[in-house]
Structure formats: structure tokens, C-alpha cells
């Protein structure tokens, strides 16, 4: 269905970044000390609570319009980018912690297998065999993965709330449908690319 159904043109991201750089350079030339960075708090009230701002974000229903809106939003309020980068950094940190914990579980059971194998070689008493340990490992990983999936869902819900507060298109309305969900996914990918491209 036209350009709105295609992936966004990377050149548009470059355009946004160049405008942000120009905006930041202009802002720096007009102040001698940096403005304090606002920290995003748990969702309570919109950071930009004006009805006009909310209406603008809620009225965006196409991908091309969303890109134009984001360009305007990021240029007008650089703090939005700071908060998006923090959100992405938090996600990366959680994902790394979850992965490290899973690796630790696997190592724990691998060490048990090595110990049981060593004991059997020297004629010592073993508490379980390799097959039993493998079964226990599978159970432990299944239990852990279930917990992680719940944690991921909680993180995604929290991110949606933050994106709603920040007035990000497709997250300020509860519109149902595959196209809306697809646009949300594309916006998340755009945010990934944006926060990766802009240095900390």
C-alpha cells in the first residue's frame, strides 16, 4: 500500500541526525552551562501534558507522518533522545544480566557432570548420573526461561508506558489491528537505530 508499507529510508534517519546536530550546536551557542538532564520517572502524568501535544501524537496514523513527527519532536526537545537512550541502555543491561544468569545455570550443571564423571572414574560414590543431570538441567532452564519471558513482558509494558509519556507515535493510542502493531514494531526498530547512531 505505497511507501507507508515499506521499511523507512535510512537517509531519513541521517536527515534527523543532521537536524539534531544543528539544533544542539545552536543550543550550545546560546548557553554557557548545560541544562540539567531530566530523569524519566515511572508513568504518572505526561511530561508534555498539553492537549495539543497529545492530539498531535494521537493523530499520527501513517509511517511517513510518524517519521516527520519524530523529526520535529527530537529537534524541539533533545531530552526525548536522552530518555530513549536511557530506556535502550536499561534494556541492554537487563538482557545481559538474564543471559549471564542462564549461562551460570548451564555452568553449574556442567560442573556437576564433570565431578560425577571424575568420581566414577576413581571409584567414588556418585549422587546421580549424566542422564539425570541433563534432565535436571533441562527442567532448570525451562523454569528460568519462563521467568525471563515474564520479565521481558513486564519490561515491554513499562517501555510502552514510557513511550506514551514521551508522545511517541503509535504508543499514545490503544488502536488494535495488525497494521498498528506493525507500526509499533517499526517505531521500536527506528528507536534502536536512532539510539545506536547517536553517541552517548
What is the span of the domain harbouring residue 158? 9-22+48-197
Confidence of residue 46 (pLDDT cuts 50, 70, 90): very low
Query: Would 32 be classed as within a structural domain?
Result: no
Query: Would 70 be classed as within a structural domain?
Result: yes
What is the pLDDT, as a whole number, of residue 96?
97
Query: Would 134 be classed as within a structural domain?
Result: yes
Query: Would 33 be classed as within a structural domain?
Result: no
- In this prediction, residues 3-21 reach a mean pLDDT of 56
What is the pLDDT, as a whole number, of residue 30?
47
What is the pLDDT, as a whole number, of residue 198?
67
Query: Would 184 be classed as within a structural domain?
Result: yes
What is the pLDDT, as a whole number, of residue 116?
81
pTM: 0.67
Query: Would 4 be classed as within a structural domain?
Result: no
CB distance 70 to 181 below 8 Å: no
Helices 10-29 and 63-76: crossing angle in degrees, nearest 10, is: 20
Helix count and strand count (H, E) for the chain: 6, 0
If one counts the domains in the chain, the total is 1
Q: What is the pLDDT of residues 129-180, one digit of tens each?
A: 778 889 999 999 999 999 999 999 999 999 999 999 999 999 987 777 788 8
| pLDDT of 183 over the 80 cut | yes
Query: Would 168 be classed as within a structural domain?
Result: yes
The 10 Å Cβ neighbour count of residue 110 is 12
Which H/E stretch holds residue 15? Answer: helix 10-29
Q: What is the pLDDT of residues 50-77, one digit of tens each?
A: 344 545 888 898 999 999 999 999 998 8
Averaged pLDDT score across all residues of the chain: 78
Query: Would 151 be classed as within a structural domain?
Result: yes
Amino acid at each position: 500500500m505505497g511507501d507507508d508499507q515499506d521499511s523507512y529510508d535510512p537517509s531519513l534517519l541521517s536527515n534527523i541526525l543532521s537536524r539534531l546536530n544543528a539544533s544542539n550546536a545552536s543550543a550550545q551557542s546560546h548557553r554557557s552551562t548545560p541544562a540539567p538532564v531530566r530523569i524519566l520517572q515511572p508513568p504518572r502524568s505526561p511530561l508534555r501534558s498539553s492537549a495539543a501535544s497529545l492530539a498531535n501524537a494521537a493523530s499520527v496514523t501513517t509511517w511517513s507522518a510518524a517519521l516527520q513527527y519524530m523529526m520535529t519532536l527530537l529537534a524541539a526537545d533533545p531530552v526525548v533522545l536522552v530518555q530513549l537512550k536511557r530506556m535502550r541502555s536499561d534494556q541492554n543491561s537487563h538482557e545481559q544480566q538474564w543471559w549471564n544468569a542462564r549461562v551460570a545455570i548451564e555452568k553449574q550443571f556442567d560442573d556437576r557432570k564433570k565431578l560425577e564423571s571424575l568420581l566414577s572414574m576413581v571409584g567414588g560414590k556418585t549422587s546421580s548420573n549424566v542422564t539425570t543431570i541433563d534432565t535436571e538441567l533441562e527442567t532448570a532452564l525451562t523454569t528460568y526461561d519462563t521467568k525471563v519471558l515474564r520479565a521481558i513482558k513486564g519490561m515491554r509494558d513499562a517501555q510502552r508506558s514510557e513511550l506514551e509519556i514521551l508522545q511517541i507515535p503509535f504508543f499514545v493510542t490503544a488502536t488494535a489491528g495488525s497494521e498498528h502493531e506493525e507500526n509499533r514494531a517499526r517505531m521500536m526498530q527506528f528507536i534502536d537505530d536512532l539510539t545506536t547512531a547517536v553517541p552517548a
